[in-house]
Amino acid sequence: MTTVARPTFEPARGGQGRGEKDLSAISKQYSSRDLPSHTKLKYREHGQGTIEELRNRDFRKELEERERGEKEKGSSRRAIEPSREPTASNTKRQKLDQVPAASLDADDPLDDDESDSDSDEDDTAALLAELQRIKKERAAEQAKKEMEKRQEEERIRMENILSGNPLLNYSSQSGRVDMKVRRRWDDDVVFKNCARSEPKKKHDVFINDSLRSEFHRKFMEKYVK
């Protein structure tokens, strides 16, 4: 027989005895992350832009000196670059000087490079002109096709309008078109659908059987039979 629910003679009490602790005492355990850290602010050291160092500097003078130095460098660079680049006449003269006199012929032209460049430019211009002409022809052909398509659609639409309305072509088709209103023979009858042989509408009957229900019967007739 269990004794879980039975009261004990000595109830549990907090204390310093065996297996007991003082619940009101503060725990002596603590984590290293709970210790105080970063208790001192960091200050700028010497050479890191302290207040004393910045107070004695003249920023405007330094900026003007840097700008002046950049301008001098740019002017000297521009003065050196033209002297380094040889002109076209000097280059051509150097090429002619390098060619030996024995290999020169009186009938040979000296401006082969210029003639080649001119011919290349002419070929490029001719190709561009041909490309523009082809583009114009294709655009004109496309516009012509679109116009013909719109005209054909408009013609078909007008034919449908004229042939669909019998009042517009009544004179040409007076012998064939019958303008009488068609009516059923029983339109003037007072009572309709009163025949005894007319089947009565069946009322839906609920059947608590998945195999004999109306839904199952219709499903089998539609998809299986």
- Per-domain boundaries in the chain: 50-79
Read off the pLDDT band of 57 (50, 70, 90): confident
Q: Which of 10-24, 72-86, 205-219 has the lowest mean pLDDT?
A: 10-24
CA distances from 96 to 83, 116, 179 (A): 22, 17, 102
Question: In the predicted model, what is the mean pLDDT of residues 3-28?
Answer: 62
The closest of 21, 3, 4 to 12, measured between CA atoms, is 21
Cβ distance 125 to 131 under 8 Å? no
Read off the pLDDT band of 139 (50, 70, 90): very high
Question: In the predicted model, what is the mean pLDDT of residues 4-27?
Answer: 62
Q: Retrieve residue 97's tokens.
A: 């000087």
